[in-house]
Chain A
Amino acid sequence: MADAVVSTAEPTRRDFLYLATTAAVGVGAAATVWPLVGAMAPDADTVAAGAPVELDLTPIAEGQIVKVFWRGKLIFVRHRTEAEIKAAQDVNLDALRDPQPDSARVKEGHADWLVVYGNCTHLGCVPLGNSGEYNGWFCPCHGSVFDTSGRIRQGPAPINLPIPPYTFVSDTKIRIGESGATA
């Protein structure tokens, strides 16, 4: 320490160069890594493929589940029966792992339509419709059970099947990928 103070001019310049070089290398390395990692993020095509998709609901019969894709992700559109809606509503919320009333999972006035992402929230398998103890979905991979509102009831999945952004364009048509004013 004392040495550094005694020997003045020369070492100071060297110290400066040393620090400046280290800083330049550090910034340069960070500036190089940034685009390298950035190039692995979803590219422009993939993002653009996320444009909203429209779905005509008229051909979907009561009790039927239809699979559609948006942004490469699977979505279930389920035309629920009276009994299924009732089962989804008559649930003690305290008993749920991820408590959510059925009314928060459908659009107002459209309780007969349930639109949820189709990949199990455990590890992403596709659950089988109209099966499991609650007649909602049953995931064959590790046994998660979902009810007719897509809520997790048993098994390892941590949360309910999420709801994608969508909106009713008319009573018989939805647009997925866009959360309208009614959301």
Chain B
Amino acid sequence: MNDHHHATTYVPKSAFAKWFESRLPIAGLIHSSFVAFPVPRNLNYFWTFGGVLFVMLVLQIVTGVILAMHYTPEATKAFDSVEHIMRNVNYGWLLRYLHANGASMFFVAVYIHIFRNLYYGSYKAPREVLYILGVIIYLLMMATAFLGYTLPWGQMSFWGATVITNILAAIPVVGDAIQSLLWGGYSVGNPTLNRFFSLHYLLPFMIVGVVILHVWALHVPGNNNPAGIDIQSGRDAVPFHPYMTVKDGFSLVVFLIFFAWWVFYMPNYLGHADNYIPANPAVTPAHIVPEWYFLPFYAILRAIPDKLGGVIAMFGSIVVLALVPWLDTSKVRSAVYRPIYKQFFWIWVVVCVILGWLGAKPAEGGYVIAARIATAYYFAHFLVIMPLIGFFEKPKPLPRSIVDSVLGPGASRIPVGAAAAPQAKG
């Protein structure tokens, strides 16, 4: 079953399809990747967020391209052009609320997707490259969302841009040059806004490129699954269509309802009121807080009392994610069979949430101390706890096969034909 070089089972029907397929076999590629592609039969709903993420990316691009038709990337006009979108452009309010809340929903989905990988050990061999491509997508998403948030040129846009570009200036030797190239001036200003818009338009398409590599790297070993064991026989797998297409579709609908609830009932809840005040370089808002999806990293940045140290810790907290395939020393993938790792995984999730909460609090007194402890624990989880658990933990016995894990031990000996095969019914 691990034979990924299987010839496609796609059979072109019409004369045109035959003619085309022999010149560009793209229908066969799509068929073998998204129709006949075998997936483990035990995938749960955590495996539907890849599809959700793909739809969110497309939605951000579609709403973004239309917003860009009405938006003016010029420091004296940007704020007004966003208000123009909100008031004068047909459905402009909808496009903007979809785009702004869509960014948040994109991060909701990516966090679920990342936590899923860490719980079920999807980063382990042979999926390390697939996983690292995912971390790269996450970094590009963060850059894109940050750049987009500066575009309305409100107070939070301006001061967020100021704080983040100042963070980059802490990089030794090249920091000042990078800052000046990003600013295009001596401070955040019109040239900065112009280039941020250009880059905000560019990066999503780079994400599309990396997503293609990500899916390619996925289709070499195939999906991991809740049991964390490989497909051994045909009965461990089901074809992607209709099994996963239906599951993905259902999940997507539920997710879009959740998304719509924000868009239509509390479209500004996830934003900041200060961003409805035009940018003013002479006054900083009393409380600068990044968007919720950056809060844990912001807490880590502020926890370190040294400028460069804080920057290193913040970037380090993401770099360490990319090293997880080599920090986890256990041979067992899924936390379902790892009694100790499972507990530490949940402690780590709680620590991430606490960091997020601290990121929104003022950096003073007890909050700073708590942020330091949580930051230390965050790194200890990856650098100390993860490598050690692999040596000490006694995993639970693994099921003999995926079928066994679903239908109970011995199921792999039940004759074939027991499972339904809706895909065979045309």
Q: Are A42 and B191 in contact (CB under 8 A)?
A: yes
* Partner-contacting stretch, out of A13-21, A69-77, A86-94, A165-173: A69-77
| A12: Cβ under 8 A from any B Cβ | no
Which of these, B180, B283, B284, contacts A42 with CB under 8 Å? B180
* Complexed CA–CA distance, A158 and B286 (Å): 21
B284–A141 contact, CB under 8 A? yes
Indicate with 1 or 0, residue by residue over B165-194, a CB within 8 angstroms of chain A CB atoms. Answer: 111000000000000111111110101000
Q: Report the minimum CB–CB distance from A33 to chain B (whole Å).
A: 13
* Consensus secondary structure, chain A interface: loop
CB-contacts of A59-74 with B (<8 A): 67, 69, 71-74
Q: Report B-chain residues with C-beta under 8 Å of the C-beta of A72.
A: 185-187, 189, 281
Listed residue (B162, B195, B305) with the most chain A CB atoms within 10 angstroms of its CB: B162
A143 touches B364 (CB 8 A): yes
- From A127, which residue of chain B is reached at the shortest CB distance? B284
Q: How far is the CB of B285 from chain A (nearest CB, A)?
A: 8
Q: Is A69 a contact partner of B281 (Cβ separation < 8 A)?
A: yes
Interface size on A, residues (CB 8 A): 27
Q: Which residues of B contact A122 (CB under 8 A)?
A: 166, 307
Query: Is B287 at the interface (CB under 8 A from chain A)?
Result: yes
Q: Is the CB of B282 within 8 A of A67?
A: yes
Shortest distance between the CB of A144 and any CB in chain B (Å): 10
Q: In the bound complex, do residue B186 and residue A126 qualify as a contact, i.e. CB atoms below 8 Å apart? A: no
User: Which residues in A have their C-beta under 8 angstroms from that of B333?
Assistant: none
- By beta carbon, the residue of chain A nearest B167 is A123
**A110 to chain B: which residues have CB within 8 Å?**
none
- Looking across the interface, which residue of chain B has its beta carbon closest to that of A42? B185
Q: Is B281's CB under 8 angstroms from A74's CB?
A: yes
B167 and A42 contact, CB distance less than 8 A: no
Query: In the complex, what residues of A have CB within 8 A of residue B306's CB?
Result: 156, 158
Instruction: Tell me if A29 counts as interface (CB < 8 A to partner B).
Output: no
With known contacts A43-B191, A74-B282, A140–B287 Cβ distance under 8 A: yes
CB atoms of A141 and B288 under 8 A apart:
yes
The total of chain B residues at the interface (CB under 8 A) is 32
On whether the beta carbons of B191 and A46 are closer than 8 Å, the reply is: yes
**In the complex the two chains form, is B187's CB within 8 Å of A156's CB?**
no
Within 8 A of A (CB), among B134-190: 159, 162-163, 165-167, 180-187, 189
Which residues does chain B contribute within 8 Å of A158, judged by CB atoms?
Answer: 306-307
- Asked if A50 and B186 make an inter-chain contact with CB atoms under 8 angstroms apart, the answer reads yes
Give 1 or 0 for each of B308-345: 1 = CB within 8 Å of chain A CB: 00100000000000000000000000000000000000
Contacts of B166 on A, CB cut-off 8 Å?
122-124
Within 8 A of A (CB), among B250-304: 281-284, 286-288, 302
* A41 close to B (CB within 8 Å): yes
Least Cβ–Cβ distance between A118 and chain B, in angstroms: 8
User: What CA separation (Å) do A73 and B282 show in the bound complex?
Assistant: 9
B283/A126 in contact, CB under 8 A:
yes
Taking CB atoms, residues of chain A closer than 8 Å to B163 are 123-125, 141
Instruction: Answer yes or no: B26 CB below 8 A from chain A CBs.
Output: no
B349 within 8 A of partner (CB):
no
Question: Which of B183, B191, B284 is close to A125, meaning CB atoms less than 8 Å apart?
Answer: B284
Contact A46 B184 (CB under 8 A): yes
> Lowest 8 CB-CB distances: which A-B pairs, in order?
A125-B284, A124-B166, A123-B166, A126-B284, A124-B162, A123-B163, A71-B186, A40-B181
Pick 15 A–B contacts, CB within 8 A, sort by A.
A40-B184, A42-B186, A67-B282, A72-B189, A72-B281, A74-B282, A122-B166, A123-B163, A124-B163, A126-B284, A141-B163, A141-B363, A143-B363, A156-B305, A158-B306
B positions within 8 Å CB-CB of A:
159, 162-163, 165-167, 180-187, 189, 191, 195, 281-284, 286-288, 302, 305-307, 310, 362-364
- Sample of 18 further A-B pairs with CB below 8 A, known A71-B186, A72-B187, A124-B166: A42-B185, A43-B184, A50-B186, A67-B282, A69-B281, A71-B187, A72-B281, A118-B282, A123-B163, A124-B162, A124-B163, A125-B162, A125-B288, A126-B283, A140-B288, A141-B284, A142-B363, A157-B307
